[in-house]
Structure 1
Amino acid sequence: MRTTTAPETVADLIARQWGEHRPGLMYEDDAERHVLTRHRTAQEAAARAALLVDLMPPGAEPHLGVLLDNTPEFPFWLGAAALAGAAVAGINPTRRGPELARDILHTDCRILVTERAHLPLLRGLDLPGVRILVTGTEEYEALLAPYAAAKPGEAALRTPGPDSRLLLYFTSGSTGAPKAAICSQGRLAAAGAALARQFTVTPDDVHYICMPLFHGNAVIADWLPALVGGAPVALRRRFSASAFLDDVRAYGATYFTYVGRAIQYLLATEPRPDDRSHPLRLGFGTEAGAVDAARFAERFGVRLVEGYGATEGGASVQRTPDTPPGALGRAGAGDDLAVIDPATGAECPPAVLDPDGRLLNGSAAIGELVNRGRSLFEGYWRNPGAEADRTRDGWYWTGDLFFRDEAGYLYFAGRTDDRLRVDSENLAAAVIENILARWEGAAAVAVYAVPDEVAGDQVMAALALREGAAFDPAAFAAFLSLQQDLGTKMAPRYVRVVTAMPTTATNKIHRVSLRREGFHCDDPVWHRTPAGCYRPLDEAALAALLATYEAQGRSGLLRRPGTPPARNDRPGAGDAGDAEAASGT
């Protein structure tokens, strides 16, 4: 470990780079790779901090929006905000129109830093009082030039301290307007130091940042521990599964982070004889799933560590060496975590697991993870209603489903929005997904609810197939019959075979779009008969199904053909083979 004391602020971390001429930042521009020293990165941050002080209108909230891909300008402006006592709102480039304008204006950004590639997103938007800086232009370089000699600590809007706001990071917003979580410099610096200790980060490491910097994962779990440990970071403009190993080898990367389905995209690439020839030692992230984590380790020889810690900071789960497979760990220091049934407020009973770790009492054991003790949650920007909901009854409600075994280890079971109720039994989508992921033909799996014809929900699954695989309904039904932990209500009533899984900007499967379409889609859909066989949902079968909904007065719950999804529910681009455009909690 490079440092022995935890920094109080991120500004401290930036300033400590001054005078250090070891590599600090690596990136590719016009097919040419560049290396900047740690001193140079601090110098660039200091120049932008001084510019920020002069450009920010008097009396304005010290907030700037950053609408950039993973270019060097993004960490420069993160560092600048830290030094200036300002806050960065990471703006998601997959948002569009009024929703994009809303994100910028909601966070009171008076300055927006963007690049030429994203200017079309801003055309026609009403952004009163927002000054737009376009990186890479002559005007931008002319603005920066007078501040080239600035040093850390010379200019600030507010003196940076542990309580200073640094990030206003949006939640995913898949079920409504995104909430901007407040992250202070002290909490972020402490989180970076904790991860640097946990993973023994040293200057000999290289942190590969391929997840988007507008998302908390890349900043908190990748950029910050590198700053603490003195490791350089290597930037990938947008995540690319096909270029992943080439980048890792070129940069000498030893560590990376992931979210959502990034691991599935990597596993879906064509295997190569040199898949294990690289310097990577560790991947850290969320939602890879036990099956894919094992496949990744077997193919690439890299251990994946699953972690849990919301950007909001309200709860964390700490992995220990004795954590069993599939579990995330136990409660973090000072936390009092419990799995609660939201309907009753009572703690759920412990999970019953078979010798293979398969959950046998999911309906009773799965509940919402709640922190009944100390919480580091710092609130949402200008959203008291969301804050109150998150902290109701004096507890911090994570919005995530978990179950807990007899020894106290916690297992992730999905989002509360991903709970299904089938024949009066509560099910968690993530649990069913983990089972379906064992099917050898699946490259990616998404499970979600569609309305039952009479009451409650039915299980629908979207499957993206591995290259060369085909959906064999008899083989799939036979596979399901052999899964001992697949409860009687869990088998999918409907199976949609997709060529490309819709994803959000953070590589998470976009379930909102899948739920909205249901079985009204252009992809082939199969439905399960009472005998357990899968048959095509052809025109005759669909007509009969819709007639049943009509007879039960539930047809209004279905989206009709030709009705487009709401604008902010449109998925980002991406597919199981390469998520070039899907890059992006």
Structure 2
Amino acid sequence: MTGTVTATVAELVQRQWGDPRTGLRSRDTVLTHHDVSAGAAARAALLVDLLPRGAEPHLGVLLDNTPEYPLWLSAAALAGAAVAGINPTRRGAELARDIVHTECRVLVTQRAYLPLLDGLALPGLRVLVTDTDAYTELLTPYEGAEPGDAVVRPVRPDSRMLLYFTSGSTGAPKAAICSQGRLAAAGASLVAHFGVGRDDVHYICMPMFHGNAVIADWAPALSAGASVALRDRFSASGFLPDVREFGATYFTYVGRAIQYLLATPEGPGDREHGLRLGFGTEAGAVDAARFEARFGVKLVEGYGSSEGGAAIQRTPDTPTGAIGRAAPGDGLAVVDAEGQECERARFSPQGHLLNGAAAIGELVNKGRSPFEGYWRNEEAEKERLRGGWYWTGDLFYRDEADFYYFAGRTDDRLRVDSENLAAAVIENILARWTDAEAVAVYAVPDPVAGDMVMAALALREGAAFDPARFTEFLSGQADLGTKMPPRFVRVMDRLPTTATNKIQRASLRTEGFLSRDELWWRPTPGAAYTPLTPKALTTLRATYDSHNRAHLVWS
């Protein structure tokens, strides 16, 4: 069945019916594929009865990665409903807004998250608490249901399947729409690309409210008829034990998950497992090489815009550091703010980017885009599709052979002495420093104009920031341009991250150099790093005041 083209996710769930092989595992649950299909059918029938007549067929899922999550995804597919993944790190009015905005009339949650709902205005919402006797009793009458017995709307390829939130630097998160057809096609594409088969075990440790876990891990497992193994929340220390216990062969990652895994103590059994592939984003070439050397597992860095508007896949001849090529006729290009194509990247004999300022721009799709829009957000859709192109919001550069290289988010662009820089490019260079466990680069306002470069460093256990050694390291990086060395360095125990292990750059930018962490700075670009003392900060404040820019830092 590997690679079988299927029009809807519902068909994939129906295909599990009668299959006695292990289909879903967690630490305390083992279900066959048939059990999953039957459980989904029961929940679909319950959902149809619970949804008010005429209401949008949307349910929210506020759960850890428990077996109930994929069961409800499967149930929604069978019923022709859509799942809004609710982020448990959201609080108060923001959490209520996510649920109300997506017009959820049913919310599936667990007892641990009930306190988050206390006092929220959620009119007409029916809450199901999965780890209670009441939930079990509610499901019991539906246990004889079969796939297709109950639908709230006819299931078609264009039926809404997911409403998953994507966030930017400003405004509330946007709920991107993913149809059953697009999700099924994404799963089939990854099956074909990676050769995923029925005997594979997909380990899902990234949170399932995020598109990565569902689109890149659950969907290809469903498409291939592979087994799924769940970790309720990502754990660096629990990763290898889980992989061994479940017999995992494939996993996905986002953000800084790989750095956290590399920070765990090395052991003689690091290669004693069956894992063969990791697929994700933002690991970086340095950490990907370290991961393969230590664990014997190849990491494939892919790119797919969260909203589905552009994708780049790795090919066997992809150079180190590149993401891959676009498919023929995809219409991808790298353009500047005026929409003009950027220069092709030029590299030194050592492979260092020489013309970053001219080569780095935003990735756009000038051709047909599979973007399916945002729920109730026409303004955001127009911004994403301005000029008839799909604007990804991501920075790239492209070489003469049409290989694309990721350079960060447009929100992470810095302008230093009139030169445009990409934070991710600087991060990839600083990641070579062996004392660093994790690195984040971001802009802080310059006292006169533009930005200055600031770096937050989480050091490896037992390491301390040595300014002289750090300066020596910087001077030895041939591809570190003259505008790239950090003016400010913030030393932290751990970088702040989201629930998907992405660095919270917004909070880092907001705090700037006014935090209480260990701070170092260069009073002038070529000076030695010295502590940013209260006296130095007072002098710096006077410089900002003299140029009428203090409000940009001391708000």
Shorter chain as denominator, the TM-score bin is over 0.9
Larger relative CO (CA 8 A, sep 6+): 1 or 2? 1
Partner residue of 2:22?
23
Q: Give 1:74-85 correspondences, 5 Å limit.
A: 74-85=69-80
Say which SS state the counterpart of residue 41 (structure 2) adopts: helix
1:468 pairs with 435, 438, 462, which one?
Answer: 462
1:453 aligns with 2:447: yes
Instruction: Say if 2:313 is the partner of 1:314.
Output: no
1:106 matched to 2:101:
yes
* AA partner of residue 351 (structure 1): A
Correspondence for 1:147: 142
Who is 2:258 aligned against?
A: 263
Aligned to 2:552: 557
Q: Is the 8 A contact 1:297 1:304 kept in 2?
A: yes
Structure 1 residue 88 corresponds to structure 2 residue 91:
no
Which whole-Å CA distance do the structure 1 matches of 2:3 and 2:389 have between them? 34
3-state SS of paired residue (1:74): helix
CA contact (8 A) 2:3 2:192 kept: no
Rounded to whole Å, the distance in 2 between the matches of 1:312 and 1:510 is: 20
User: CA 1:174 to 1:210, structure 2 compared with 1: closer, same or farther past 3 Å?
Assistant: farther
Q: How does 1:507-526 map to 2 (within 5 A)?
A: 507-526=501-520
- Helix, strand or coil at the partner of 2:27: strand
2:195 to 171, 196, 200: 200
Within 5 Å, which residues of 2 pair with 1:221-240? 221-240=216-235
The aligned counterpart of 2:8 is: 9
Distance 1:388 1:335 in 2: 21
Match of 1:378 among 361, 372, 378: 372
Residue 394 of structure 2 aligns with which residue?
400
The answer to whether the 8 Å contact 2:107/2:127 transfers is: yes
Write the distance in 2 (CA, Å) between the matches of 1:559 and 1:190.
49
CA positional deviation for 1:12: 0.5
SS at 1:61 equivalent: coil
- Aligned with 1:56 (options 40, 51, 54): 51
Q: Spell out, residue by residue over 1:457-477, the C-alpha distance to the aligned partner (whole angstroms, 9 max, x if none).
A: 000000000111111100000
The 8 Å contact of residues 309 and 369 in structure 2, kept in 1 or not, is answered as yes
AA aligned opposite 1:448? Y
Q: CA deviation at 1:517?
A: 0.4
Paired AA for residue 107 in structure 1: T
Contact kept? 1:175, 1:512, Cα under 8 Å: no
Matched residue, 1:569: none
Q: Does 1:176 align with 2:171?
A: yes
Q: Residue 175 of structure 1: CA displacement?
A: 3.0
Root-mean-square deviation (CA, aligned residues, Å) is: 0.9
Partners of 1:321 and 1:304 in 2: CA distance: 13
Q: TM-score, normalised by structure 1?
A: 0.94
Task: Spell out, residue by residue over 1:187-229, the C-alpha distance to the aligned partner (whole angstroms, 9 max, x if none).
Answer: 1101000101111111221100000000000001101111111
1:354 equivalenced with 2:353 (yes/no): no
Q: CA deviation at 1:176?
A: 2.4
Contact 1:517 1:559 in 2 (8 A): no
Cα deviation digits, residues 332-362 of structure 1 (max 9, x gap): 35411000001x2100000111122211111
Q: Deviations over 1:494-513 (max 9, x none)?
A: 00000111001110000001
Match for residue 487 of structure 2 among 483, 493, 496: 493
- 1:483 corresponds to which residue? 477
Q: Secondary structure at the match of 1:196?
A: helix
Q: State how many pairs are aligned.
A: 554
Shift of 1:58: 0.4
Which consecutive unaligned segments of at least 5 residues does structure 2 have?
none
Q: Structure 2 length as normaliser, TM-score?
A: 0.99
Question: CA shift at 1:273, angstroms?
Answer: 1.2
Identical pairs, percent = 72
Map of 2:237 onto structure 1: 242
User: Which stretches in structure 1 are left out of the alignment for 5+ residues?
Assistant: 561-585
1:164 is matched by which residue type in structure 2? S
Amino acid at match of 2:382: A
SS at match of 2:252: strand
The one-letter amino acid paired with 1:27 is S
Are residues 462 and 401 of structure 1, via their aligned partners in 2, closer, same or farther at CA, if it must alter by over 3 Å?
A: same
Q: What amino acid maps onto 1:17 in structure 2?
A: Q
- 2:309–2:390 contact (8 Å) kept in structure 1: yes
**SS of aligned partner of 1:98:** helix
| Maintained 8 Å contact 2:3/2:188 | no
Distance in 2 of aligned mates of 1:281 and 1:229? 16
Alpha-carbon distance change, 4 to 463 in structure 1, aligned in 2, over 3 angstroms: closer
Residue 559 of structure 1 deviates from its aligned partner by 3.8
Query: For 1:290 and 1:87, how far apart are their aligned partners in 2?
Result: 36
* Matched-pair contact (CA < 8 Å) for 2:45–2:142: yes
Cα 1:292–1:3 change in 2 (3 A) is: closer
8 A Cα contact 1:526 1:535, kept in partner: yes
- SS state of the match for residue 400, structure 1? strand
SS at match of 2:441: strand
Indicate the residue corresponding to 1:286 in structure 2. Answer: 281
**Partner of 2:26: helix, strand, or coil?**
strand
Segment of structure 1 superposing worse, 294-303 or 165-174:
165-174
SS of equivalent to 2:236: coil
Q: Is the 8 A contact 2:2 2:198 kept in 1?
A: no
- Name the structure 2 match of 1:439: 433
Question: For 2:177 and 2:550, how far apart are their aligned partners in 1?
Answer: 41
Q: Does 1:40 align with 2:39?
A: no
Alignment correspondent of 1:574:
none
Structure 2: which amino acid aligns with 1:512?
A: A
